[in-house]
Structure 1
Amino acid sequence: MSRWGEGTMEEMRSLLDRISKSGIEVPQTVREAMCSLHLEQFTTYDFNGFFHDRPVVFMETENGGVKTISAPHMIVTLLHHLELHQGQEVLVVGSKGGYIAALIASIIGEDGRVVLIDPSHEIVRHTANALAGWPTVDLRQVESIEVAPIELPGELNRVLITGSIESIPNWMEERIVEGGFVLAPIGESHHQELMKMERQLGELHPTSLGPVSFGPVDILESEPKPLSAIEIADLLETLIETCHEMDLCEPEELQQLGNIADELRLMQDPQEGELEAFITGHLQNFIHLWPMIQLMFAPTLARPGDIENEEHHDFDFDEFRP
C-alpha cells in the first residue's frame, strides 16, 4: 500500500520550508516538482530519513557497493544551480535512481529532454522501471563516462554529473556551448568541490559552489577495496600531521608512526598476506588512534533540512558517501 498521501506531502512541504529557512534557495519550480513526485517510485528501501534531509539508498551490490538518492538539500542545491527553464535539453550523468532526472523532466516540461546515462547495467534496469511513463527522459547505459555515447546531441547546454570525478571528460568540455555549463563534484574520492564549469567567450571558467563528498558515478567503484601500502602510508602521514597539530601524541609516538609510513612506502608489490602481517605486527603503535582514523573516513554530513536542526544553519554542502 502506498504511503505517499497528504501526510507525506505535508512532510515534503515542511522539509523544503526548513531547507529554505537554512539559507538554501528553493526555487518554486523545484518545490512543485519535489512535491509532485512519489519517492517510492524510485526506491524500494525505507525513505523516512529523506524527510530528515538524509540520502536514501536505492541499490546495493553483493560486494557492498551502495548508491543513493541524494539528500534533499543537495538535490535542491543541484537543481537551483542548473538554472532550468522550459524546453531545455539536459544531460545527467549517474542515475540517482531516476529521481533527479524525473525532477528535471518535470521542470523543463514536455518540450524539454533529459538524457540520462549510467555505466551500470543493474542501475539502468532499475532506473528504466522507475522512469516508465516518462517519455522525455532518454536512458542509456554507457561503458564509461570518459567516452562520448553514440548519438548523443552534438552540443551540450546543461550537464549534471551526480558522482565524484577527478576532471570533466574531454568530450563534454568540447561540446559545451557558449553560456552552457557542467555542474559536477570534482576532486578526490572522499572530498570534492561542487564546481560549475561555464563556457564564456570560448573558455571554460570554473566556479566553486562549496565542499561536498559524493560517491563515484559507477556503483562498482563504491564497493570497498583493500588499501594499498602507499595509501596506508598516506593515511598515517595525515594522521601524524593531525596529531601533531592537536598535540594528541608524544613525539616518540609520532616518530614511530613516521617510521611505519616509511617502511610501507618501501613495499613494492607485497605478497599475499605480507601487508596484513606488517600492519598486525605494528598494531600496538596506532590502535589507540583508531577513533581518529575512522573520523578521517567519515566527513560530517550537513542536514540543514532536518527537523532537529532548525536552529542551526552553519553547515557545508556535504553529500552522503557510502
Structure 2
Amino acid sequence: MPSSLQASYEEARRRLVSELKARGYIRSQMVEMAMLTVPRELFVPEDLRGKAYEDRPLPIGHGQTISAPSIAAYMTELLELSEGMRVLEVGTGSGYSAAVLATIAGERGHVWTIERVPELAARAEAILKQLGYGDRVTVIVGDGSLGYRQAAPYDRILVTAASPRVPRPLVEQLAENGVMVIPVGGKEGQVLTVIKKEGGQVYEKADLEVIFVPLVGAEGWQDQG
C-alpha cells in the first residue's frame, strides 16, 4: 500500500476515534488503543476501503456486514475486557472485532471466534494472520449458538449476531465472574444485553437498542415465522 494512502487511512482512523470518544462510545484507554491500532480498511472489501472510517456498517458479502465502528467500540466497552483474558466471539464476520479483542487481551490472552460461513472465516483468518494475530486468535467454522466447548470456560463472550434469547450453551460456557454481551430481541430490532455470572447466579441488564443480523441456529427464531 502506498505510504500516502496508508497515512490517509491512519489520519481517518485517528479522526474517527476522536469522534467516538467525544460521543461517549469510547471511554477507556484500552479500547481507544485497540481502535487506533487495528486497520479497519483491511477488513472491508477493497472497493469499500474509502468508506472504512465512516461510522456505519458495510457489507462484507454473504448477507453479512461489518458493524459500525461506534457499535464495535461500545460493545467492547460493555465487555470490560482486560489483558490476559480468554474470549469467545460468536460471529467472526470480517474478523475486525476479533482483532480489536485480541489487541486488548494481549499476548497472554486468546480469542476463539466462530463463523458459520466458511468463506468469511477463511478470509478473516487470512487477514488476522497477515496482521500478526495468528497465535492469539483461533477461527472456527461452526454454529455459534452452540459456543465452543473445547476451550471453555471463557472470561468474556461477545456475540455479534442477534438472538431471540440468550443461548444456554453460551451461558454454560461463561466462567464465574464472566461477562457476555449479546443483542437480544426479534429480527426487527434488539437490545444489547449484558450477562454477568456471579456466585453461580446469572444476571442480565438491558442496554442500547440495536439491529444485528440473526444468529443462525439460535433457539426461538422459528417462533417468529
Q: Contact 2:93–2:115 at 8 Å: present in 1 too?
A: no
**1:192–1:207: structure 2 CA closer, same or farther, 3 Å change rule?**
same
Q: Contact 2:40–2:53 at 8 Å: present in 1 too?
A: no
Residue equivalent to 1:145:
144
What's the TM-score, normalizing by structure 1? 0.62
**1:129–1:191: structure 2 CA closer, same or farther, 3 Å change rule?**
same
Q: Contact 1:186–1:195 at 8 Å: present in 2 too?
A: yes
Check if 1:100 corresponds to 2:97.
yes
Q: Distance in 1 between matches of 2:198 and 2:80?
A: 16
Residue equivalent to 1:121:
118
Of 39, 53, 59, the match for 1:51: 53
What's the TM-score, normalizing by structure 2? 0.87
Per-residue deviation, 1:152: 2.7
| Residues 2-61 of structure 1: CA deviation (Å, up to 9, x unaligned) | 575223212111111112222333322222222222223222241333323112222x23
Residue equivalent to 1:24:
25
Q: Contact 2:83–2:106 at 8 Å: present in 1 too?
A: yes
Bigger relative contact order (CA 8 A; separation at least 6): 1
Equivalent pairs counted in the alignment come to 215
| Residues 224-253 of structure 1: CA deviation (Å, up to 9, x unaligned) | xxxxxx97xxxxxxxxxxxxxxxxxxxxxx
Q: Distance in 2 between matches of 1:181 and 1:22?
A: 24
Higher strand share: 2
The residue correspondences of 1:233-244 to structure 2 (distance < 5 A) are: none
| Residues 76-110 of structure 1: CA deviation (Å, up to 9, x unaligned) | 10111111111111000001311110111111111
Residue equivalent to 2:7:
6
Q: Distance in 2 between matches of 1:96 and 1:120?
A: 8
Of 215, 236, 247, the match for 2:213: 215
Tell me the C-alpha RMSD between the 2 structures. 2.2
| Residues 234-278 of structure 1: CA deviation (Å, up to 9, x unaligned) | xxxxxxxxxxxxxxxxxxxxxxxxxxxxxxxxxxxxxxxxxxxxx
Q: Contact 1:49–1:55 at 8 Å: present in 2 too?
A: no
| Residues 176-213 of structure 1: CA deviation (Å, up to 9, x unaligned) | 22211210000001100000011123221111111111
Identity of aligned residues (%): 27
- Give the letter for the 2:20 counterpart: I
Residue equivalent to 2:221:
none
- Give the letter for the 2:116 counterpart: P
Bigger radius of gyration: 1
Q: Contact 1:113–1:136 at 8 Å: present in 2 too?
A: yes
Q: Distance in 2 between matches of 1:196 and 1:26?
A: 17
| Residues 125-152 of structure 1: CA deviation (Å, up to 9, x unaligned) | 111211113111011111x233343523
Which segments of 5 or more consecutive residues in structure 1 lack a partner in the other structure?
222-229, 232-322
Q: Distance in 1 between matches of 2:28 and 2:136?
A: 22
Q: Distance in 1 between matches of 2:94 and 2:179?
A: 23
